[in-house]
Chains A and B, each alone.
Chain A
Amino acid sequence: MSTSPRKGEWFSDATFERVAAQFAVEQVPNLWADVRRRLAARASARWSLRWLLALVLASLIVPLLPLPSPAAMALDKQPKPPVAPWVEPFNERFEPYYGELNPLDRALVSVRQRAFGEKQTGPWLGTDAKGRDTLARILWGSRTSLLVALFAALTSLTIGVAWGAIAGLARSRVDNAMMRTVDVLQSLPTIFLVIFLLSFLNAPSPTGAARSVSRETVFFLVIGAVSWLPMARVVRGQVLALRSAAFVESARTQGASTGWIVRAHLVPNVLPIVLVYLTLTLPSVILYEAFLSFLGLGVEAPNVSWGVLAADGAEAISPLATFWWLPLGPALAMGATLLALGLLGDALRDALDVKRSEA
């Protein structure tokens, strides 16, 4: 059993090493059909998947929906509490100001304007202190949170998996060097790294005009940069275990090439843990975005994210006046999404746990 140093703060990984230990290192000929069957048999997994798919879809087509703009302000008499959809389903006060939009979104918004005109949904989830519609902000904000998650997933899947696999397959000296690098990077407090990377990469350009990278990009890069480390560790552990597994040894003695072993044994055996691990990384990354927003290091206005909304909402919780709808919306959206990811992760783990099912 490996007792290599387990470090980490936000993305604690020992959990996942434990999870990894539960995976049997065995040949799995017909894994994926099985997994699909088992996932489909579980109600929580079905609902989680549905919610996540709906969310991704909604965040993609949100410019098309007849929502108010998330940036258009109305300062008078705010914040307004929610109005039930059946009381005020729609109104005609749409103001087409969205701040910065990329060309595709601009096209989508113009389609929306042609389709719905001035029509927009009422304040079903209330408005914030500047009169912006909470529902619209939550849906637009989901884009940031999902993008952060996507970036983290991408770095985890590329850098993390590659780093871990190479370390696991390489000779012990290379392995050692690579893993100690991971150790050091993980010993550096992430928040420290984030503050410095943000202010360093984000220093104003001397001309003041068009900047090559936006703050959002920097933000995503920074979060991606700190989220792949535990994945590398987990993958390495799994690869190490596989290398010495009986069936791999026997394949090797029978003269199988390394490439064949990687394809036939390593990939199918590493993939499940990577997947399960991903469902654990994504929630922590989404929470990390919220944490940074709380510290005021989140995305730049007029862009919004769930973290910004949750931080503003938490600020609005006060004994003097409770604008309860401000924390409620983002908390529900975040809670539901993270819950779905968690339940899906549980289901995946159970579905992929070959040993117990065959025992």
Chain B
Amino acid sequence: MLSMPSTSGARLALSTALLGVLGACVVAFALRSGRPRADFAFTGGGEIRSLDPHGVTGVPEGRVIALLYEGLVARNPHTLATEPGAAESWNVSPDGRTYTFTLRADARWSNGDPLLAADFEWSFRRMLEPATACEYASSLWLIEGAREFTTGLAADGTPRERDWSRVGIVAVQERTLQIRLERPTPHFWPLLSSHVFAPVHRASLEALRERHPRDWATHWTRPGTLVTNGPFRLVERRVGEVLRFERNEQYWDARNVALRTVDVLSVESWSSALNLYLAGELDWVDGAIPSSLVPELLGREDFDPRPYLGVYFYRVNVTRAPLERREVRAALATALRRKEICELVLKAGQQPAFSFLPPQAGDYRSPKTFGESSDYAQKLLVDAGLTDAEGKCDLRELELHFNTSEVHRDIAEVAAEQWRAALGLKVRLRNQEWKSFLDAQGKLDYDLSRSSWIADYADPSSFLDIWTTGHENNRTGWSNRQYDELVAAARSERDAARRRELYANAERILMHELPCIPIYHYVSQNLVDPRVGGFGQNALNEQSPKYWYWRSDEELASVRAQSMRRCEPVESHGPSAGLYPPSRAEERR
């Protein structure tokens, strides 16, 4: 033992001092990673799942992938038109099945390696390998032989050895890539620009696999190791805190990228995100604003909700009595007062949904379907013998499942109240945490279950395919042969008008049978600094970070003067001189 001071008072003083020093050390150690504010900071919620483009599915992940990677083609954030990405040009064969891409000569990886057609071929192959466990692999199955390559099963379901040479993806030359589809597919373009089609760097990944056969995945995506081809590269990652990106000077279009650094913050609570935004710590909040605060934001310049390609609906378990009866489902669907839910609960301009597809799904127009009437709903139940003449409802109590979230709870409370008032129906609310909720939904262990569907691309197939018999995302037990046939026919129909008609007929059946009760169509809720330029406002809320820049005072003033929208101007936290890409900065000088 050390020689201890004799009196307990002195011991006390000594240990207090020691503790104080120790505490200060801990604080200093934890705070050692101070970093200056990035040119641009945004949040899409909590910590993202992965930086591997083939290992993610969510919207927040897609935002990060868009910073790091670039596919063959990209989508313009203002018009959603296809524009060149890593490929500078392409042509499509007359039968609409073979796509030939020419990669640009100056396309490079962030470590300086040239980006070649073989990189894309290898990346797509990796995506299809079952061992990669890419959750979006099935979206590539419209490529010839791809399905067989992933599942190891031939078209007739017999096992067949997997062979890459039978898959329609070939690097014909150093910079020429050919993709052959099963059948002509109109939505191949939007799909091709999504993050699943991003290339990954073969050499670095294979070297890591050699070195860390078990846990290469946890080594690969580290700053300094990860090699990417997008406008930004990863420089720092702190789990649960921040991802820091820097402009990738090797990027072919780096001269047109304005931001030098970008931070993606992980913020679990939306009210904290809002506070951070108002304090100027965040420039863009992408996500759910608490609905009680929406009215306060609506008049502001920096909050402009736009229609968004998604639908919020309740699944109905058609395998359970009394919901197996169409009249009951129709009564539920027609008894709701959606306008009340949209205007008084959600408040951000969401549109009541009477069709499964939102109104902005490309050229497609949903057929006219059901309407709202509590008298009609009541009559349906009376005619079905489920409600007696005095309006007393014989139906058993139904259970409405939703996952833990304030807005789901609010909507469910209001919907239950509306059903009670209109039909005398008892609906019990069941709030479940996410995984239990999904488990119950997947096992058809519910009566009504909250759901939403956000489209990957603006095409009816993105919405209607899921309701075919046995589809993984059907999850209602609903099955209709006529519907299946219509969707299958639409899938291989080349004539656009005829195809739309087939889908419209399918949707009419869906909205007559109502295995799902649509509630509302989404709006995007971007809260973005008014000074930010190049920010896309489109129905998919797609963003292309390479276009972001900061407007100068003059430009901001002229944008405000030209704006048709009447709103209250908001003070910007961005640089008053603006921040322009190197190319434009020279021009301005």
Contact = CB atoms under 8 A, between A and B. Distances in A.
Interface in B118-142: none
A130 B292 contact: no
Contact of B413 (A130, A317, A323): A130
A317 B533 CA distance: 31
Interface in A263-278: none
Contact of A204 (B271, B396, B431, B440): B440
Given A75-B414, A204-B445, A204-B446, A315 B433 contact: no
B445 A206 contact: yes
B429 A302 contact: yes
Interface stretch (A35-43, A238-246, A293-301): A293-301
A199 B296 contact: no
A199 B438 CA distance: 12
Contacts of A209: 396-397
B409 to A, nearest CB: 6
Given A318-B271, A320-B278, A199 B436 contact: yes
Given A296-B405, A318-B271, A301 B413 contact: yes
Interface in B272-317: 274-275, 278, 290-293, 295-297, 317
Given A206-B445, A320-B278, A301 B412 contact: yes
Contacts of A129: 291-292, 410
A130 B295 CA distance: 14
Given A130-B413, A320-B278, A199 B445 contact: no
Contacts of A316: 292
A296 B447 contact: no
Contact of B278 (A198, A315, A319, A323): A319
A358 interface: no
A74 to B, nearest CB: 9
Interface in B411-454: 412-414, 417, 420, 428-433, 435-436, 439-440, 445-447
Contacts of B271: 315, 317-318
B433 A301 contact: no
Nearest to A314: B271
B439 to A, nearest CB: 8
Interface string B382-424: 0000000000000011010100111001101110010010000
A87 interface: no
Interface in B259-280: 271, 274-275, 278
Contacts of A321: 292-293, 295-296
A255 interface: no
A204 B430 contact: yes
A164 B359 CA distance: 66
Interface in B351-379: none
Question: Interface residues of B: mostly helix, strand, loop or mixed?
Answer: helix
Contacts of A300: 429-431
Nearest to A77: B344
A73 B293 contact: no
A195 interface: yes
Contacts of A195: 433
A300 B401 CA distance: 11
B219 interface: no
B292 A73 contact: no
Contacts of B399: 204, 208
B275 A318 contact: yes
A224 B372 CA distance: 46
Interface centre among B296, B431, B440 (most CB of A within 10 A): B431
A184 interface: no
Given A130-B413, A204-B445, A318-B275, A79 B292 contact: yes
A75 B440 contact: no
Interface in A203-255: 203-204, 206, 208-209, 215
B345 interface: yes
Contacts of B404: 296-297
Contacts of B439: 203
A12 interface: no
Contacts of A73: 413-414, 417
Contacts, number: 87
B506 to A, nearest CB: 29
Interface in B197-227: none
B187 interface: no
A202 interface: yes
Given A97-B420, A203-B436, A75 B446 contact: no
Contact of A301 (B397, B420, B429, B445): B429
B174 interface: no
A208 B447 contact: yes
Nearest to B340: A75
Given A97-B420, A129-B292, A199 B410 contact: no
Interface string A114-135: 0000000000000001100000
Nearest to A299: B431
A204 B290 CA distance: 29
A319 B446 CA distance: 40
A347 B82 CA distance: 76
Interface in A311-351: 312, 315-321, 323
A179 B297 CA distance: 56
Nearest to A298: B431
A78 B413 CA distance: 15
Contacts of A198: 433
B320 interface: yes
Nearest to A214: B428
A79 B297 CA distance: 16
Most chain B CB within a 10 A radius of its CB, from A208, A215, A315? A208
Contacts of B410: 129-130
A74 B446 CA distance: 29
Contacts of A297: 404, 433
Given A75-B345, A75-B414, A320-B293, A301 B431 contact: yes
Contacts of B409: 301
Interface of A: 73, 75-76, 78-79, 97, 100, 129-130, 195, 198-199, 202-204, 206, 208-209, 215, 296-297, 300-302, 312, 315-321, 323
24 contacts: A75-B345, A97-B420, A129-B292, A130-B414, A198-B433, A199-B432, A208-B320, A208-B445, A208-B447, A296-B431, A297-B404, A297-B433, A301-B413, A302-B413, A302-B429, A312-B406, A315-B292, A317-B271, A318-B274, A319-B275, A320-B293, A320-B296, A321-B295, A321-B296
Interface of B: 271, 274-275, 278, 290-293, 295-297, 317, 320, 340, 344-345, 396-397, 399, 401, 404-406, 409-410, 412-414, 417, 420, 428-433, 435-436, 439-440, 445-447
Given A73-B413, A321-B292, 19 more contacts: A73-B417, A75-B345, A97-B417, A129-B291, A130-B410, A130-B413, A202-B436, A208-B317, A208-B445, A208-B447, A209-B396, A209-B397, A297-B404, A301-B429, A312-B406, A316-B292, A318-B274, A320-B274, A320-B296
4 A-B pairs with least C-beta separation: A75-B344, A296-B404, A320-B296, A321-B296
